[in-house]
Each structure stands twice: as C-alpha cells, then as structure tokens.
Amino acid sequence: MLEVVNLTKRYGESYALNDVSLSIEQGTFTTILGPSGSGKSTLLMSIAGFVDPTAGDIRLNGRSLLPVPPERRNFGIVFQGYALFPHLSVRDNVAFPLRMRRLSSAETERRVSEALALVQLQDYADRFPRQLSGGQQQRVALARALVFKPALVLLDEPLSALDKGLREALRGELRRLHRKVGMTFVLVTHDQDEALELSDRVAIINKGRLEQCDDPVTLYNAPKTRFVAEFLGKSNFIPVRKLGVDGAVVRLQAGGVVLEHEQAGDATGAEAVLVLRPERIQIAPEGAPVGPNAVRGVVEETSFRGAEISVTVRTEIGTLLARAPSAHPFVRPAPGDRVVLHWMRKAGYLLDSADGTEAAGSG
Amino acid sequence: MIAGSRQTRAFLLFLTPSLVFLTVLFAYPVGKVLLVSVTDPELGLQNYRLLIENAALRRVFLTTVRIAGLTTLIAVAVGYVLAYRMHTAGERELRLIIFCLMFPLWTSVLVRAFSWVTLLQSNGIVNGILIGTGLTERPIQLVRNEIGVLIGMVHVMIPYATLPIYAVMKGIDARLPQAARSLGASSLQTFVRIFFPLTLPGIGAAMILVFITSIGFYVTPIVLGGGKVVMIAEYISVQITETLRWGLGAMLATVLLAIVLLFVFAFRRLTVLREQGA
Amino acid sequence: MNRRFLQVVILRGAVVAALTYLILPLLIILPVSLTDQRMLALPVNGLSLQHYAAVIQSEEWLSSTWQSLVIGIASTVLAVVIGVASAIGCKLVDSGRAGLVRILNLLPIVIPSIIYALGAYRFYVEVALLDTMAGVILAHAVGAIPFVFIAASASLEQLDLSLVRAAQSLGAGLIRTAIFVLVPNMKAGIVSGAIFAFLHSWDEIVVTLFISSRTVHTLPRKMWEGLNENLDPVIACVAVALLLFTLILLLIEQKVKRMPPAG
C-alpha cells in the first residue's frame, strides 16, 4: 500500500502541494485529477522521486520512500510525451530496465517479447521510436514501464498527446491492461471523463490541496465541495435554508418555495447549497401533474447536443439548467414556453454553505 | 515562400547582389588558385606528384594533421566538460561561462598569440613563476615547439568545440534522463547509456568544425611555432612569397580545400541520414 | 555519497581550470602593457604609462588605427547591405533556387583564409587593387558577409511568412515589404551581424598580409610586423586597445540580443 502523508511542497511563497494525504491500495487504479497547475504533476513526481517534498512523507508498505533515489524505488513511469530513448530501438527501450537490473540475456529477451506481446507490438521490436505513430509510442512506453514488474505504475497524462478517437480506444486498452497485469496504477490527468471511466478511485486536487478522494460514483453523486461538483460536469447550485427534519426528509426553503430532500449521512448547518445535476431534473409542460420539488419557470434558451437537449429555465428560485433526452416524445421545449421543473427527493446533494462558497470563489 | 511570379523578382532584387559580389571577388579568385595548381609551371599533374615524392611535403602534411588532430581531441574534451557544466549551471554561472567563451572567440588571434608568447617564452611569466617557486631550475621550453602551438590553438578552438555540444545538450528532452532513472539506472549509468549517446551528434559536429578550422591555421602556428613547427598554411605562404612556386602553393591549397570540403560534405550526409532515420 | 562529492569536485575543478585558461591570456596583457621595463614583462617597480605615450606619439600607429577604422566601417556597411539582402532573399525565394546563393554566402568562413588570400592576391594583381584601401575593404567585406548572413537569417527564422503575405495583400511591393516589415523585425540580427562584421575586419590579418604592403597597414598588420621584428611592450598597449574595442562591441551585442525585437 502506498501512503502519502501530509505531503507539502513549497516553492518560495507558493504551495505546489499543501498537506495532501492519500492512500492507494495494492492492485487498484487510482487517478489524480485536477486542472493544470493544480499540483497533480508535482504529486506524481514526488512519488517518483524527482521532486523532494518540503514536508510530509511518502510510504510504501509502511517504509518511507524519501531517502530512496528514483532508480531504487522500482516504479514504472509512463512520462508525458513518453520519453522514449530516441537512440534505442523499441526492443532496447523495453530491455533497458532489465539490463539495469542485470537480468540474464535469455530472461531479458523472454520478458521483452512478453511485454511487447502484451501491448501488441511484437512486430515493431526493431523499429526506432520516431518510426512509430503516437499510439504505438504510447504502447512502447507502457511496455517499458511494465516489463520489470514494478511495485507501482505511474502514468503522467499518458493520453493527452493523442487525438480524440485514439484516446478513447487506448482508454479501453489501458483498463484491460490493468486488469490483466493486476499491478497498482496511478494516473495523472486533467480529463474528467478519463478519470471517471478508468479508475477505482479518483483523487481531485485543486490549488495544491486534496479536495476529495472517492470512487467515481460517489464523487459524481455526492461531491464534498463545490469545486468537485463543478469540475465533474455541470451542476445547479441552489442556496437553501433548512426548515426542519421530518424523519429521513429534510425540508428546505429556496426563495419562496419549500423543497424536500433526502440524503444519507449527517445533515449540514442551517444555511446550505443544494447541488443538482441537470440530468436529474425533469421537464414537464405547465399544469402537468408532478410530485414534490416542483418549480415553475419560463424557458430562456435551448441547445441541441445530440443525444440530449439542455434547457435553461428562469424559475422562481433562480435560473436552472436541465437536460432532457432529445428523443423525448412529448417534451420539445422552446424559448418562451412555460414549464415545470421537478426532481425526486434523492436527486440532489446538500453541501455545507461554507464548502460551497469557499470553492465557488476559485471558479 | 511567396507566389511563383514574384520569385524571380525577389531573386533578382535580393540575391543578385551577393551572387555577383561573391562570385567576382571570392569564387573566381579561389577558382583561379585551383586552376593554377594544374597549369603552373606547365599544364599537368606534376604538382600533385610532388605530394607522393617529396618527403618535406609529406612531413608538413603529417605535422598539420597531427597538430589539428590533437587540437581537436583536446578542445572537444574540454568543450564537452564546459558544455556539460553550462547545461547544468544556473543562470549566473551560465552567463559567466558564455562570457569566458565569447570574449576570447572574438579577440584577434594575433593578440592571443602575442599574449601566449608573453606568458610562455623562456624569460616569460610562466617560466618566471616556475623558477621563482623553485619548481624548476632552468626555463622550460614552452614556445617554438608543438606544445606552444597546441596551447595556442586549443585556446582558439575551445569556443568552437563547446557551442555545438551545448546546443545539442540543450535540445535533449529533460524527461529522458528522468525516465532512465525511474527504470533503474544510476546517475552514472544514465550519463553513459542515455545522455552521452544523445550528445554524440554534438561531439561529431564539434570535432569536424574544430578539425577543418585547425587544419588551415596560419597565425598561431607561425607565432608560437617560431619556424620550428610548420603547418600547411605557413608552408603555402612560403611557396608564394619566398620561393615563388605558385603551382606548388596552389596545389597544396587545393588539397587543403578538398579535405575541408570532404569533411563538410561527410558531416552534412551524416546529419541528413540521421534525420531521415535510416 | 563520497564518490558523488568527488565527481562534483573534479567537474568544478576542471571547469575553473578551463575558464582560467580561456581568460588568463586576455587579462595578462593589461599589466604587461603597464610595465616599467623595456621588454615584455610584468611591472617590477611600479606601473608606467610610458609605452602608451609611445603609441600615442607614434605617427605610424595612429595612421594604422585610422586606416583600420575606415576599412572596418566601410567593409561593415558593404557586408551588411549584401548579407541582409541575401538573408531576406533566402527567406522569400524557394530553397531550391536559393540554395546555391546560401552556400556561396557561407563559403568564406568555411574555406581556410590562406586559400582566399592567395586568390585575392592574384586577382588584385590582375585588376590593380593590390595595396589599396578599396582592395582591403572589398576583401574584408567578403569575409564578413557570412557573419551578417548567419545573424540576419537567424533573426528571420522565427518570423512568420504570413507577415509577408499580409504586407503584400495590403499593397506593399517586395522592396517596401522588406524595408517596412522585414528589416524592423531583424534589428537585433542586423546589429549583431554588423558588430561581428566589424570585428572580423578589425582583427583580420591573413588576407590583409597578402594584399597590402606599404600604402595600407592596418593595426593587426602593424602588430604582426612588430611581432616579427622586436617584442616591444608597445605592442602590448596596442593589444589592449584591440581587446577593449572587442569587449565594448561584444557587450553592446549582448545588450542588443536581450532587447525585445522591434522596440
């Protein structure tokens, strides 16, 4: 198990990492997700041993890694831009870590062809990196990082240099590879879809701080901060005041409307923010029979996005964004239409007002 | 590039001046020298036959190649160390090293040769210090021999050796050494297996540049060799100004030029091949 | 840990030794020029300006300096005009057609000066330019063109050619495009090239030795003769003057390089 304990990295007055703690279980796929400049690469390079932290510790199975130089950490790294050695063939690139470990030439040869087979590049062993496409180079970098059976595989934005179609294809391949080799993977990326699709756990970093570390479903449905909610797709933020608790149901006051809300776990303070994903909001024509949590409004704008239509509605509790399947048989909202927006009690997630506003300022 | 119809006009406007100027004042005179090597004193290859027959000529060639070769090895070795330091140094130290390279580079070779004589002659400053500190009793002969010529020529050539190597080092992706470290290579192994091989093109460029420049050296060997160490350029000038053997001088100039151009061409081919990735 | 430390010490030591080797011969001339002795040596009983006085009072040295300046400036102007035009031409004309001119512009620094010296000598006998100011100016310009061409081309390298297309679409012809669009963006390169061109002429000795004799005697030529006749501290004074000039021009060049383009 890899543990990052209160890790801090300061450059002069500014913090690249500020008191970050994280633990990564053996065999899992963990993604460190954050916007550029958030400190996620500093975190990865600290784990790799190329950045000396100012404070805190990094431990592998209980032992501190800080005194261990990069070449003795035994971590496979796929660098951004791959960092393939241009003067070595594919075979020699992949054999490099084995030669550094003085494996016998027979063993080296066996493992290299095994690793190349794993990424389906058996036929490219004698090529040089510049003779390969971006996707192929990426797979060589993977093979090189896996071939010495490292304790941990670190991937620094491995897909960012590729175009969209290839990126999606390689995502699938990366996941299959992870299942097949069963090693611990740590991926750094700024791409939310990549993080959600690939990972067992996602750690979201912003301005050097860890915002939240959870499995993708929890992150999406129960963001702990406004930053997390905003970074993973669009959300509506409705300021509310708590009126009272009635069993599992919390009653909330938003503008002139009373909303009902149900949420597992402890309720927050009196002032709160209700986070509501657009796709959880239903649109109905005015006057249609609806349940609780109904607000009336006028459609301001619609935009067609293929599978769905997103609709901006000015309501009595503020402007809300909703999404409806574009193939919906009845609902064809157009600007100026009067509609009712409604949602189920469990559709939203209540955030402490403080969490909501603190992160709100960061945009 | 610009549209085809304008190409001719642009060529006439911007390129004709240098084409005419350099053809008349440079290419034509140099071409005439090459021609003289087969026409003086009479038409034929007799001047080139001397290359095989004449022992003194062979000695001059040998001296020239030996001194240019040694200069190349020493200057490139020192240049590599300096370039490596520049590559790893901070801003201030980098500026200092660049200054220490550029200032001599642009200082007249004559001034530098003069200065070395002042330092190295038998009643000069270096010998004064050596005798004064009791390291030696009699002055050591440091000029009017190959040591003096080498000291002077290496000094001139170090900037030429350093800059191409540094340029190549600067172009190396900083992630490559990191990648090697992460794959288990020690810092020494990283240098030997990754960094050094990647700087080989720089070393090649530096060696060729230094060699083709050293081989035609004139001022430094004359001043520091003091007539004892005769390199080809000095020998040529003696043929022209003293013995008036134009054919011989022109032949040697032609051979010198051929060697230089051969190296330049070989180097270009080398880089072209590398870029094509064959 | 110890081995690492040793590696660092050895590397640093080698660098310091190399830099000392590079700079020492340039620095040593200053005290030698201030010597109170009658021969080339460090000052013994104190500094003296006697040798500088000798240079300033010498008709010959002064006229050499004057000639060197005139030749330097004239050949620089020639080389800059021709070299900058070629750099622009090579940027605008496709590389196939410009290739020959590009090579021709670089050849004078590739070919050993002794070869050009022979050629220039023979050619000048033919056209009666031997031992004339004009002859030396032309020969120095030939040698300086590559420096201007390289510096000017480097400053054009980053320039986007769409700038040229934009200028033409707005109605500028080739000449006006060059003067109003390209040249202002090449300022740093042109100044660098001019400085290197001047320094080339200021220090040139090999070709000058062959094509001049009595009428033209540049500073390096005068120094060369002094060097072969008697090693006089007066030469050290002249060397210091050459050195200072080089240093000043180099510092200007560094300043120009660090300025943002087209200020």
CATH at B229: 1.10.3720.10
Residue A295 lies in a domain: yes
Residue A131, both tokens = 């003779």
User: B269: distance to nearest CA of chain A, Å?
Assistant: 18
Q: Are residues A220 and A75 in the same domain?
A: yes
How many structural domains comprise chain B? 1
- What is the predicted pLDDT for the residue at B45? 87
pLDDT in tens, C196-222: 999 999 999 999 999 998 899 999 999
- What is the predicted pLDDT for the residue at A285? 84
pLDDT in tens, A124-141: 999 999 999 988 999 999
What is chain B's alpha carbon radius of gyration, rounded to the nearest angstrom?
23
Distance CA A267, CA C42 (A): 89
Q: For every one of its 278 residues, what pLDDT tens digit does chain B have, with 9 covering 90 and above?
A: 565 667 777 787 899 999 999 999 999 999 999 999 999 888 888 889 888 889 999 999 999 999 999 999 999 999 999 999 999 999 999 999 999 999 999 999 999 999 999 899 888 888 888 888 888 888 889 988 999 999 999 999 999 999 999 999 999 999 999 999 999 999 899 999 999 999 999 999 999 999 999 999 999 999 999 888 999 999 999 998 888 889 999 999 999 999 999 999 888 877 665 655 43
Contacts 24+ apart (CB under 8 A), A182-185: A182/A27, A183/A27, A183/A76, A183/A146, A183/A149, A183/A150, A183/A152, A183/A153, A184/A2, A184/A24, A184/A25, A184/A26, A184/A27, A184/A28, A184/A30, A184/A151, A184/A152, A184/A153, A185/A28, A185/A29, A185/A30, A185/A152, A185/A153, A185/A155
Per-chain mean pLDDT for chain A: 88
C-alpha closest to that of A79 among C191, B173, B67:
B173
How many structural domains comprise chain A? 2
C-alpha closest to that of B151 among B182, B184, B124, B189:
B124
User: C131: distance to nearest CA of chain B, Å?
Assistant: 15
Q: Are residues A182 and A57 in the same domain?
A: yes
Q: What is the dihedral of CA A210, A211, A213, A217, to 10 degrees?
A: -160
- What is the predicted pLDDT for the residue at A19? 94
Lowest mean pLDDT among A75-89, A284-298, C236-250: A284-298
Q: Are residues A205 and A266 in the same domain?
A: no
Compute the average pLDDT of residues A92-116: 94
Q: Are residues A165 and A297 in the same domain?
A: no
CA angle (A235, A240, A245) in 5-degree steps: 115
Distance CA C211, CA C203 (A): 15
Whether the CB-CB separation of B129 and B167 falls below 8 Å is answered with: no
Directed axis angle between helix C133-157 and helix C113-127, to 10°?
Answer: 130
A355: pLDDT confidence band, cut at 50, 70 and 90? low
Q: Are residues A219 and A290 in the same domain?
A: no
| Residues facing A246 on adjacent strands | A249
Whether the CB-CB separation of A167 and A187 falls below 8 Å is answered with: no
Whether the CB-CB separation of A60 and A2 falls below 8 Å is answered with: yes
Asked if omega into A97 is within 30° of 0 (cis), the reply is no
Residue A32 lies in a domain: yes
Q: How far is CA B271 from CA B204, B268, C91, in A?
A: 10, 5, 22
ipTM at complex level: 0.91
Q: How far is CA A208 from the centre of its chain?
A: 16
Distance CA A195, CA C138 (A): 69
CA angle (C169, C170, C172) in 5-degree steps: 95
Nearest CB to A48 within list B173, B182, B189: B182
Residue B11, both tokens = 């060529």
Query: A71 and chain B: CB distance < 8 Å anywhere?
Result: yes
Q: How far is CA C185 from the centre of its chain?
A: 23
Q: Which of A87, A90, A93, A155 is the best substitution to test chain B (most B C-beta atoms within 10 A)? A: A87
CATH at A201: 3.40.50.300
Check the CA dihedral B257-B260-B264-B266 and report its sign: positive
Q: Are residues A264 and A311 in the same domain?
A: yes
Query: B223 and chain C: CB distance < 8 Å anywhere?
Result: yes
The one-letter amino acid code at C3 reads R
Q: How many other C-beta atoms are found inside a 10 Å radius of the C-beta of residue C16?
A: 11
Close Cβ partners of B236 (under 8 Å, ≥ 6 residues apart): B249, B252, B253, B256, C114, C118
Identify the burial level of A195 via C-beta atoms within 10 angstroms of its C-beta, where 0-12 means exposed, 13-18 middle and 19 or more buried.
buried
CATH at A304: 2.40.50.100
Q: Are residues A241 and A211 in the same domain?
A: no
How far from each other are the two terminal CA atoms of chain B, in whole angstroms? Answer: 29
Q: How many other C-beta atoms are found inside a 10 Å radius of the C-beta of residue C230?
A: 11
- What is the predicted pLDDT for the residue at C176? 83
- What is the predicted pLDDT for the residue at C158? 79
Distance CA A143, CA A253 (A): 56
From chain B, the residues in CB contact with C175 under 8 A are 13
Residue B35 lies in a domain: no
Domain range for A163:
2-228
Nearest CB to C28 within list B23, B108, B125: B125
Domain range for B94:
44-277
Compute the average pLDDT of residues A169-180: 89
Strands A201-206 and A29-33: parallel
Lowest mean pLDDT among A37-51, B75-89, B264-278, C141-155: B264-278
The enclosing H or E element of C45 equals none
- What is the predicted pLDDT for the residue at C263? 37
Lowest mean pLDDT among A26-35, C41-50, C238-247, C251-260: C251-260
CA angle (A354, A359, A362) in 5-degree steps: 145
Residue A363 lies in a domain: no
Q: Say whether pLDDT at A267 is over 60.
A: no
Q: Are residues A290 and A221 in the same domain?
A: no
Whether the CB-CB separation of B83 and B166 falls below 8 Å is answered with: yes
Residue A362 lies in a domain: no
Lowest mean pLDDT among A12-21, A30-39, A260-269, A311-320: A260-269
The CATH number of C69-230, from 3.40.50.620, 3.60.110.10, 1.10.3720.10, 3.90.1640.30, is 1.10.3720.10
Residue A173 lies in a domain: yes
Q: Are residues A33 and A87 in the same domain?
A: yes
Query: C146 and chain B: CB distance < 8 Å anywhere?
Result: no
Query: B266 and chain C: CB distance < 8 Å anywhere?
Result: no
Identify the burial level of A8 via C-beta atoms within 10 angstroms of its C-beta, where 0-12 means exposed, 13-18 middle and 19 or more buried.
middle
Residue C100, both tokens = 């020959």
Residue contact B21–C142, C-beta within 8 A? yes
Q: Which of A193, A213, A228 is the last residue of a domain?
A: A228
Nearest CB to A83 within list B175, B189, B277: B175
